[in-house]
Structure 1
Amino acid sequence: MLRGLYDWTLSLAARKSAEWWLAVIAFVESSVFLVPADVLYIPMALSRPVRAYRYALVATVASVLGGILGWYIGHYAYDTLARPVLEFYGKFDEFEHLRMTSGDGIILLMLVTSGLAHLPPIKVVTILSGVIGFPLGWFILSAIVARGARFLLLAWLLRRYGEPIRHFIEKRLGMIVGVAAAVLIALYLIFKYAF
């Protein structure tokens, strides 16, 4: 099922309506969809490099708006909407653990790491932010910074290096950003518990 969903998302890049689809995928990825917008964004930016930054802006705005929807789902419709989505993706137990152990500092850190590296998945963090009542203004600001940084970095890499960088992005960029996110988490924990 996941491979079919991935292939379908990738096929949208060739359509004339690809930019609209990018907005839709980025929007729903932030609250319920499993496939990241990168799957659509990367081939679009490679096929039309002059529009890479435009596509990054579309993906960022749509992703932040989708994140706001996720926040509202978590805050106002946890039992009726959020819990079934989390159970469907097998993330409910992870979510409950996060909910019981997270404060504002951890949420802010997770917003940055999930926005940059999908660690943990963005949909989990947006819903969790609403459930625990993380301030919506800070949520929006951090989502803009994290998601914008990710898509703008991808735009810059794709514009500068083109097709040769695609394999690197698809195979290794997530790992590199994930390591950077892990370092951020470790530094936060050291700072929190050592000082």
Structure 2
Amino acid sequence: MSELIVQIEEWLLQYGVLGLILVAFTESSFFPIPPDVILLPLALARPEEAFLYASYTTLASVFGSLLGWYIGRKLGRPILRYFISDEKIAKVEDLFKRYGALAILIAGFTPIPYKVFTIFSGIAQIPIKVLIIWSFIGRGLRFFLEAALVVALGAKAKPFIEENFTLITLIGGVTILLLFIIYRIIQKKKKTL
């Protein structure tokens, strides 16, 4: 299976920006290959275009999240019913309605499969505006960080990202979560005063 994925990556890379946009769009809703595998080689080949490539990747990913939302809205619940009970679906849906923006932000930034969260946003009927805003922030942070690393580190960026990016994004995701928890605690204290 991994050999097939490598072949698909190489094939998509031949199409340059078009391949990048296609991967970024489809990965946000159903495709298993993350856009980073196309973004990095393109950015390394032309570092002066790295931020432009990050822009294309972010925009395509956000538009792809709308397809994920639509898939979740139309197909998500009937498919989930084959695997889990309506009661469990309702619990997950409630959690997603309360923390969906945070989930979208963290999934957009970290290596967590983003498509799962775009599909769940459709199942939970998260407003499209919320999906778009938090997708732009999360995905933009991720792809522009990669572009910045390419510009700053040059050829050393690829091994650095391969070795450290998962850890960096997970630390970033945990930081976002902690900031959110602190914010909620402060909000609760303000209500009790």
Q: 1:171 corresponds to which residue?
A: 163
Q: Which blocks of at least 5 consecutive residues in structure 1 are unaligned? A: none
Instruction: After superposing the two structures, state which structure 1 stretch, 174-183 or 123-132, moved more.
Output: 174-183
Identity %: 30
Picking from 55, 58, 66, the partner of 2:56 is 58
Structure 1 residue 105: Cα displacement: 3.9
RMSD: 2.7
Q: 2:103 corresponds to which residue?
A: 110
**TM-score, with length taken from structure 1:** 0.82
Paired residue secondary structure (1:77): helix
Paired residue secondary structure (2:58): helix
**Structure 1 residue 70 corresponds to structure 2 residue 63:** no
**Matching residue's letter, 1:143:** S
User: 1:50, 1:159 within 8 Å by CA — same for their partners in 2?
Assistant: yes
CA distance in 2 between partners of 1:43 and 1:97 (Å): 42
Structure 1 residue 45: Cα displacement: 0.6
Q: 1:41 corresponds to which residue?
A: 39
Q: Which blocks of at least 5 consecutive residues in structure 2 are unaligned? A: 189-193
CA distance in 2 between partners of 1:104 and 1:97 (Å): 10
Runs of 4+ in 1 over 4 A off after TM superposition: 95-98, 189-194
Structure 1 residue 110: Cα displacement: 1.0
Instruction: After superposing the two structures, state which structure 1 stretch, 174-183 or 125-134, moved more.
Output: 174-183
**TM-score, with length taken from structure 2:** 0.83
User: 2:44, 2:154 within 8 Å by CA — same for their partners in 1?
Assistant: yes
Q: 1:135 corresponds to which residue?
A: 127
User: 1:12, 1:18 within 8 Å by CA — same for their partners in 2?
Assistant: no
**Matching residue's letter, 1:74:** G
**Structure 1 residue 123 corresponds to structure 2 residue 110:** no
CA distance in 1 between partners of 2:27 and 2:48 (Å): 25
